[in-house]
């Protein structure tokens, strides 16, 4: 029948002990011809079937947008587990000194009339990437595949091992972003601009944040990098730093953003010098809640203010006298709170922000 045929792909067989791995390239659009996603579910007797999590639509759309851009690169291999219907035909290579690898052809039986449950392959890792390629407007997108022959229990074990690997720390990703100039998915593009600003704040000697932001390469910093990153990102897209963005590219005038931030936070440092040099456990100023709240105060005082006048506008924080960064109580409208009872939660950040802005408006 025309819908049944053998797909023959150039392949390298790698022996790991007595087990074989097969590495080959294939058009990603064709993965669905021979490999299915085994999603987690229960059969009629409540037995566990499959092992994959459901496709994450937002993540898939982000990958798809990236793949459809010129120069897209997807170097990570898709991992596929096959049943024993596939076979490897080796090519004699007596001249090779390598005994654990062999060149050949992987022969995959394809039956286009089969449903997913009867296809010879299952995707162990790469579910979202495969879906993004499938849904893209591209005519083709070749990918690398690493495969092995296994039963479902072995497949599930490999899935757990692959997905249990510790991901890169967020802080390391944030440090790498400024030096990455290639096109990235939109969420990472947004964060890259903020990450570049935070990097400058941490390394510039004239910055009030100089070497104070804790990162993988600056572990002695006392302020969490994510606290500063969120403050900057919020201002870039919703606050005073928005004026320095380039609307057509999503990038921005990093120098102007850094100057704006240095000016405001230098005023904070001068106004509260003791609290500024203490770690978060001893000061709510360097705590995530304090950084976020004063970020909103910066937007309140300096939004729309020319860069040359940011210092004058920032000087108004001298009116903040009812503060309890390190001792005492916050005299909130809802009642007093001990200084260290303020937590890095949306409700507490909003409470602290409203309190500080009320003082400025008094």
**How far apart are alpha carbons 152 and 49 in whole angstroms?**
9
Average pLDDT, the chain: 87
**Residue with more model confidence, 9 or 176:** 9
With beta carbons less than 8 A apart as the criterion, state whether 159 and 125 touch.
yes
pLDDT at 61: 86
DSSP 71: T
- Give pLDDT tens digits for 266-317: 999 999 999 999 999 999 999 999 999 999 999 999 999 999 999 999 999 9
pLDDT at 41: 45
- Give pLDDT tens digits for 40-52: 444 555 444 444 4
Mean pLDDT of 346-355: 96
What backbone phi and psi angles, to 5 degrees, belong to 321?
A: -100, -30
pLDDT at 156: 65
Three-state DSSP at 142 gives strand
pLDDT bracket for residue 165 (50, 70, 90): low
Beta-carbon contacts of residue 193 (< 8 Å; ≥ 6 apart): 236, 245, 250, 251, 252, 254
Distant-in-sequence contacts of 355-359, Cβ < 8 A, 24+ apart:
355/322, 355/330, 355/331, 356/293, 356/294, 356/297, 356/320, 356/323, 357/296, 357/297, 357/300, 358/333, 359/319, 359/320, 359/321, 359/322
pLDDT at 216: 81
pLDDT bracket for residue 79 (50, 70, 90): very high
- Give pLDDT tens digits for 206-243: 999 999 999 887 889 999 999 999 999 999 999 999 99
**How far apart are alpha carbons 184 and 342 in whole angstroms?**
36
- Does pLDDT of 138 surpass 80? yes
- Does pLDDT of 166 surpass 60? no
Cα atoms in the 13 Å half-sphere on the side-chain side of 286: 24
**How far apart are alpha carbons 124 and 159 in whole angstroms?**
5
Query: Could you give the C-alpha distances from 125 to 10, 64, 74, 163, 264, in angstroms and in order?
Result: 21, 17, 14, 8, 47
Mean pLDDT of 22-27: 97
DSSP of 27-55: EGGGHHHHEE--B-EE-TT--EE--BPPP
pLDDT at 91: 87
pLDDT at 115: 79
Mean pLDDT of 103-131: 88
With beta carbons less than 8 A apart as the criterion, state whether 89 and 13 touch.
no
Cα atoms in the 13 Å half-sphere on the side-chain side of 220: 3
Query: Could you give the C-alpha distances from 142 to 12, 30, 75, 163, in angstroms and in order?
Result: 16, 9, 10, 23
pLDDT bracket for residue 328 (50, 70, 90): very high
User: Tokens 């000087």, residue?
Assistant: 315
pLDDT at 154: 75
pTM more than 0.75: no
What backbone phi and psi angles, to 5 degrees, belong to 81?
A: -105, 130
DSSP 61: H
pLDDT at 321: 82
pLDDT at 185: 66
pLDDT bracket for residue 184 (50, 70, 90): low
Mean pLDDT of 325-337: 94
Structure tokens at 297: 């105060």
pLDDT at 134: 92
Strands 213-214 and 335-338: unpaired
């Amino acid at each position: 029948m025309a819908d049944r045929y053998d797909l023959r792909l150039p392949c390298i067989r790698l022996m790991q002990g007595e087990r074989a791995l097969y590495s080959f390239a294939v058009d990603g659009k064709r993965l669905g011809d021979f490999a299915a996603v085994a999603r987690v579910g229960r059969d009629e007797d409540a037995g566990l079937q499959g092992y994959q999590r459901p496709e994450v639509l937002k993540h898939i759309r982000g990958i798809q947008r990236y793949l459809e851009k010129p120069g897209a690169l997807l170097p990570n291999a898709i991992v596929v587990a096959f049943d024993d219907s596939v076979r490897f035909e080796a090519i004699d290579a007596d001249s090779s000194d390598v005994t654990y690898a062999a060149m050949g052809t992987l022969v995959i039986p394809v039956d286009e009339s089969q449903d997913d449950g009867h296809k010879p392959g299952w995707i162990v890792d790469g579910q979202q990437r495969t879906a993004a390629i499938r849904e893209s407007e591209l005519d083709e997108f070749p990918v690398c595949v690493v495969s092995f022959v296994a039963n479902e229990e072995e497949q599930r074990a490999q899935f757990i091992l692959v997905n249990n690997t510790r991901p890169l720390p967020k802080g390391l990703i944030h440090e790498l972003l400024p030096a990455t100039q290639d096109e990235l998915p939109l969420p990472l593009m947004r964060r890259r601009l903020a990450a570049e600003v935070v990097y400058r704040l941490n390394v510039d000697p004239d910055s009030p944040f100089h070497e104070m932001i804790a990162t993988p390469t600056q572990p002695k910093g006392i302020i969490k990098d994510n606290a500063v990153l969120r403050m900057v990102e919020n201002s870039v897209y919703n606050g005073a730093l928005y004026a320095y963005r380039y609307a057509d590219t999503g990038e921005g005038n990093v120098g102007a953003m850094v100057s704006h931030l240095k000016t405001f936070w230098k005023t904070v440092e001068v106004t509260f010098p003791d609290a500024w040099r203490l770690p978060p456990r001893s000061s709510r100023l360097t705590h995530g809640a304090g950084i976020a709240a004063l970020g909103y105060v910066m937007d309140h005082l300096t939004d729309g203010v020319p860069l040359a006048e940011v210092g004058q506008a920032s000087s108004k924080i001298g009116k903040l006298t009812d503060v309890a960064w390190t001792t005492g109580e916050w005299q909130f409208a809802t009642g007093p709170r001990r200084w260290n009872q303020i937590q890095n939660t949306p409700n507490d950040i909003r409470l602290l922000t409203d309190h500080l802005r009320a003082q400025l408006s008094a």
